[in-house]
Amino acid sequence: MIKKTLMVLSLAIAMTLGSFGGGIALADEEAVNQGKSVAFNRQKGNCLSCHMMDDGDQPGTQGPPLVAMKLRFPDRENLRSRIYNPLEFNPNTIMPPFGLHNILSDEEIDAIVEYLYTL
């Protein structure tokens, strides 16, 4: 609860700062770092077990390499949905529905999207 309030608060601050320029870069970097650590963590995203991405060691080969994300997924909502509920795009996919099944929190998925856009 407190954590959530803090998150919202820091988001609000970041947004205010952002509107003045400068501050947003900092908040982004934090989200990117968080996103990377959630994506790599085996108990969390464990994306590496199926996707080649970034500097990840020993990636699995079940899914396509996650590269050039901004180019391939210009629509942020679309990219987010592919993580939140990949069943929407392919009801037989083996990729877990990270949001639909609460494997990751909304905040964690947002952070991953932030991170993916750096790839």
Partner 1 sequence: MLKKYALLLGAVLALAWSSTYASPEDDRMAFENYFTTKFPGVPLNDFKNGIYSVDPVARADWEQIEEFPPYELAVDAGEAEYNKPFANGKSYSDCFGDGAVRGQYPYWDGERKEVITLELAINECRTSNGEKPLKWNKGKIAELSAYMSYISRGQTVDVKIPEDDPEALAAYERGKQFYYTKRGQLNFSCFDCHGTGAGKGVRLEKLSPALGHATHWPVYRSKWGAIGTLHRRFGGCNRQVRAKNFKSQGQEYRELEYFLTYMSNGQEFNGPGARR
Partner 2 sequence: MKKYVMSSLLALSFAVAGTSLAGDEFEAAWQAADDKRKEAASMKSEWRDTKKMLDKAKQVAEKGDMDAAMTLVAMAHEQAADGIAQAEREAVMWITRVPR
**Interface with partner 2 (CB under 8 A):** 1, 87, 91-92, 100-102
**Number of Cβ within a 10 Å radius of residue 86:** 19
Task: Report the alpha-carbon distance of residue 39 to residue 81 in Å, rounded.
Answer: 16
Q: How many CB atoms lie within 10 A of CB 114?
A: 20
Q: Smaller CB distance to ligand HEC: residue 15 or 89?
A: 89
Our CB check for ligand HEC shows the closer of 14 and 39 to be 39
State which residue, 31 or 112, has the beta carbon closest to partner 1. 112
Q: Which amino acid is at 79?
A: L
> What element of type H or E holds 72?
helix 69-72
* Nearer Cβ to partner 1 (19/102): 102
**105 near ligand HEC, rule: CB under 6 A:** no
The site map against ligand HEC for 81-100 (x = CB under 6 A) is -xx--x--xx--xxxx-x--
Size of the site for ligand HEC (CB under 6 A): 23
* Residue 96 found at the interface with partner 1 (CB under 8 A): yes
Spatial separation of the C-alpha atoms in residues 31 and 84, rounded to whole Å: 17
User: Residues 39, 112: contact at Cβ < 8 Å?
Assistant: yes
Binding residues for partner 1 restricted to 38-57, rule: CB under 8 A: 48-50
CB of 91 to partner 2, least distance (A): 6
Whether the Cβ atoms of residue 20 and residue 97 lie closer than 8 Å to each other:
no
